[in-house]
Structure 1
Amino acid sequence: MNPIQVRDVTVGEGIPKIIVPLMGATEKELLEEITYIEELKPDLLEWRADFFQRVADFSVVEQILRLLREKLPAIPLIFTFRTEQEGGNCPMHVEDYFNLLNVVLDSNKVDLIDMELLTDESMLQQTIDHAKQQGVKIILSNHEFSHTPAKETLLFRLQKMVSLGADISKIAVMPQSVKDLLTLLDVTQEAKKSECPLITMAMGKLGLLSRLSGEVFGSAATFAAGKQASAPGQISVAELRKALQIIHQHS
C-alpha cells in the first residue's frame, strides 16, 4: 500500500493509527468530549455527526466544525455521518446526506471525509470529485452489523473503493464465529497489496483481535473509545495503545 500523509500523521506505515470518535449530542457535550479526548492524544479524531442533535441544520454543523478546528488545530479531523442502514444514529434522506457532505467539504475544516460505498453511485462519484477538488482525503466505507459477507464479496467491495478513488478503504463486519474473524483477517492481508491504506475491523467481543493486529495483517488504523464507544468492541485508548506497542516491538 502507498501511505498517505494527513497533517503530521502518516497512515499506512508503522503502528496502526488510533482514531477516537466524538459522539456528543449537543455543543456542550462535544466541548466536554474535546477536553477529555485531548488528554488521550489520539492520532486522528472522528466527528460522528449522526449523533449530533442538530445535524440537519447545516449552518450549525459549520459552526461546530469551526469550533473543533479551533480547539484541536493540529489533529487530523475525520467527518462521518453514518447512515441508519449502516448502523448510524439518525435517519437522513440520501440527497440530504450528500448535501451535508458537500457542505462539510466546502467548510475547509476537515482533513478526511467518510462516504459509504453502498449508496447512490452517481451522487457518490460527484462528491468524491468534489472532495478531491477541495484537497480532502476520502475514506470509502462499508459496515455490516449483522454478519460477515463472503471473502469474495469483501474483496470486491474493497477493490471497488480503490477504483472509485478512495484514499483509505474501510470495512467493518460483525463476526458470528471465529471463522468469520479469520475471513476478515484473510481479506485484510490480501487487500493490503492494493494502492491505498485500508482499515478493517470485526466488531464485538469476537472481533477484538482484528482491532489489535492491524500491523500484522495490514489494517492501517483502528478505533478506540473516547468518552463512549461508536461501535461494539471498542476498547480504551490506553489499552489499545499498549497492545499495539507490544505487537510492534515483537513483529
Structure 2
Amino acid sequence: MRSGSLSLASTDYLQLGGGRAMGRYSTLLCAPIMGKSVDQMLNKIGTAKAGGADLVEVRLDYLNNFNPRQDIEILVKQSPLPTLFTYRPKWEGGEYEGDETKRWDALRLAMELGADYIDVELQVANEFLNSISGRKPENCSIIVSSHNYQHTPSVEDIANLVARIQATGADIVKFATTALDITDVARVFQITVHSQVPIIGLVMSERGLMSRLLCPKFGGYLTFGTIEAGMVSAPGQPTLKDLLDLYNLRQMGPDTKVFGIIGKPVGHSKSPILYNKAFKAVGFNGVFIPLLVDDVGKFFDVYSSPDFAGFSCTIPHKEDALRRCDEVDPVAKAIGAVNCIIRRPSDGKLIGYNTDYIGAITAIESGLRGSHSTNGSSGSPLAGKLFVVIGAGGAGKALAYGAKEKKARVVIANRTLDRAKELAELIGGEAISIAELENFHPENGMILANTTSIGMQPKVDETPIPKQALSSYSLVFDAVYTPKMTRLLREAEESGATIVSGLEMFIGQAYEQYERFTGLPAPKELFREIMTKNY
C-alpha cells in the first residue's frame, strides 16, 4: 500500500484495470431495516425488495420485546431478500444496551437459522469467532466492522485497521469513518481500490456522501441505501431510489468518469438530476455527484486524477476556483469567475470557463423580446437599458459582464459597497449598496437581476429588495432556482414586471457545460423535459 501523498495523481489506486477484482464481486445494494417489531421489519423488507435492494441489513437492536429464536427464524424464512443481521451495541453507535452474552447468542442463532451475513464489531470479533470454534455455516459470511464517529484516520492507520480486521478471520472487512472534509474520502478510496479481500469502506456525513455513491467505481463490496429519506442507520446514507434512479449505480464501474458540482451548500442543486438523466439517456459512461467543498484548492490537490474529469462550480467558490485553474478562458478571465472546470485528458490541467453569462443573458433577452420591450431595435433588447445587478460575487460578475457586452448601462448593488465599486470599476458601471435599492428608481423600465442566494431554500421568505421598489422595473430575473418561484419573482410579477426564473439560466448554462463534459451536442429538448418532470 502506497502511503505517501494523498494526491490521487501520485498513486495508482484509481487505475482499476488489473489488481482489484471488481469482476469477483460487484457492488451490492443493501437496505438497512430498523423496525420496532418483526411485522414492521417484514413490511420494510418488502419495500426494500420492490425498491431494488440486493439484500437487507436487519438491525436487531431496534426491535422491542425481542424474542431471539422466534423472531430471527421468522425474519430469515420470510425475508424475500438475503439477510445481514446486525445487533449493534451503544458503544459502537447502535441501540443495544444489554448483556453481551445475550447479544452474541442472538448472532450465533442468526447464523444457525440461515442468515446470509452477520456483522460483528472488531472490538469483540476475536472472542466471538473463538466462541463459534469453526462452527460457522458455509452459507454465512462474517463481516467484522469498525466505526469511527469522530474523523477519518490517515491512510496508514486505515491500512493497519484493515489488517487487524483481516487477522480476526473476517470474510468481509468493513470500516466506516467520518468526513470532516470531502478530501477525507480519498483515503478510503485508496484503501478499497487496492484491497484483495471483500471490503466495505464508507465515510459518514454529507461530506462523505461521495464514498457511498462511487462504491462500484472504487471496489466497495456493498453500499447502503435507505428505503425512505431520513430513515438512516448512519449519517449521510442516500436512498435506494437515488442510488438507482438518480446516480445510476448499476451502470457504474471502474471506467466511469466522475463529474460533480462544487459548492457550499450543494444539496439543493438540480445538476445531478439533469446530467445523470442525460448521461443515461445517451449512454455516456459518467456520473455527476454533489460535492460539498470547504476549500477548493485542497479539493483539487487531492482529487487530481483523470477519473475526476469535470466540475460545475457554484456559490461561494466561483472566484476561488478561477484562481486554482491552470488555464482560464478569456471570457471567464474577464468576468473574474468560473462555473465550469474541465480536466484536460492530455495533461491533467484544469481549464476554467464561464457559461453563466450566456445562460442568464439569453434568458433575460428572451424575456424582454417576449414582453415586446425591444423599442424596434434589431440588436439586443438590453442595449441602452439600465441593468441593476444585485451581488458582486461570481454570478454577479458574469451578469454584469454580459449586460455590458450587450450595451446596457450597469449598476452593481451589493451589501459591501467596496465590492460593488470594484466590480463597477472593472466593467465600467455604477455602484450602490443593497440598502439604497429601496429608493433607487432613476427611471422606469429598468432590468433587475438578483445573483445572490437571498431567497434560496430553506430561507424562501427572504428577498433582496422590498416589493414597493419593484414598480420601476420592466423585467426581474432571479438566479435562484430552488424554489422556482422565489419571493422576489412573485412580488415582481404582482408589481407588473416580466419575470425570468433562474431555471432558464440553469438550463442555458448547462448546455455548454454538458458539451464540454461529454464532447457530445447538448440534447436541449431532453434537458427541458428532464427539468419539467423534476421540478
| Shorter-chain TM band | 0.7 to 0.9
Structure 2: unaligned runs, 5 residues or longer: 1-18, 257-284, 287-535
What's the offset of the Cα at 1:120? 6.2
Q: 2:225·2:237 contact (CA, 8 Å) conserved in 1?
A: yes
Alignment correspondent of 1:238: 241
Alignment correspondent of 2:160: 156
Alignment correspondent of 1:168: 172
Distance 1:12 1:170 in 2: 17
Counterpart mapping for 1:127-138 below 5 A: 127=132, 129-131=134-136, 133=137, 135-138=139-142
Q: 2:125·2:168 contact (CA, 8 Å) conserved in 1?
A: no
Residue type at the aligned position of 1:208: L
Q: 1:11·1:220 contact (CA, 8 Å) conserved in 2?
A: no
The 4+ residue runs of structure 1 with deviation greater than 4 A are none
Q: 1:94·1:120 contact (CA, 8 Å) conserved in 2?
A: no
SS at match of 1:130: coil
Alignment correspondent of 1:118: 123
2:38 is aligned with 1:34: no
Q: 1:105·1:130 contact (CA, 8 Å) conserved in 2?
A: no
CA RMSD across the alignment: 2.5
What's the offset of the Cα at 1:177? 1.3
SS at match of 1:90: coil
Alignment correspondent of 1:210: 211
Q: 1:115·1:124 contact (CA, 8 Å) conserved in 2?
A: no
Moved more, 204-213 or 22-31: 22-31
SS at match of 1:172: strand
- Number of aligned positions between the proteins: 234
Residue type at the aligned position of 1:177: D
> Deviations along 1:69-108, whole A, 9 cap, x unmatched?
33334x21111111211110121333332222222223x2
What's the offset of the Cα at 1:13? 2.7
Alignment correspondent of 1:7: none
Which among 61, 64, 69 is matched to residue 62 of structure 1? 69
Structure 1: unaligned runs, 5 residues or longer: 4-9
Structure with greater contact order relative to length (CA < 8 Å, sep ≥ 6): 1
SS at match of 1:32: helix
Larger-Rg structure: 2
> Deviations along 1:205-245, whole A, 9 cap, x unmatched?
01110001112222121000024221111111121123213
Name the CA shift for 1:215/1:41 in 2 (closer, same or farther; >3 Å). Answer: closer
Name the CA shift for 1:163/1:2 in 2 (closer, same or farther; >3 Å). Answer: farther
Distance 1:176 1:169 in 2: 23
Distance 1:128 1:146 in 2: 34
Q: 2:20·2:219 contact (CA, 8 Å) conserved in 1?
A: no
Alignment correspondent of 2:220: 219
Q: 1:77·1:110 contact (CA, 8 Å) conserved in 2?
A: yes
Distance 1:172 1:79 in 2: 17
Q: 2:30·2:224 contact (CA, 8 Å) conserved in 1?
A: yes
Q: 1:116·1:142 contact (CA, 8 Å) conserved in 2?
A: yes
Distance 2:154 2:102 in 1: 31
Alignment correspondent of 2:63: 52
What's the offset of the Cα at 1:34? 2.8
Distance 1:99 1:45 in 2: 21
- Could you state the TM-score of these two structures normalised by the residue count of structure 2? 0.41
What's the offset of the Cα at 1:68? 2.2
> Deviations along 1:114-159, whole A, 9 cap, x unmatched?
111122633343347332x464211111111122223222212212
Distance 1:140 1:128 in 2: 16
- Could you state the TM-score of these two structures normalised by the residue count of structure 1? 0.83
Distance 1:146 1:127 in 2: 32
Name the CA shift for 1:207/1:136 in 2 (closer, same or farther; >3 Å). Answer: same
SS at match of 1:118: helix
2:236 is aligned with 1:229: no
Name the CA shift for 1:12/1:161 in 2 (closer, same or farther; >3 Å). Answer: farther
Alignment correspondent of 2:109: 103
What's the offset of the Cα at 1:49? 0.6
Distance 1:240 1:157 in 2: 28
Distance 1:128 1:216 in 2: 36
Q: 1:65·1:109 contact (CA, 8 Å) conserved in 2?
A: no
SS at match of 2:144: strand
Name the CA shift for 1:212/1:121 in 2 (closer, same or farther; >3 Å). Answer: same
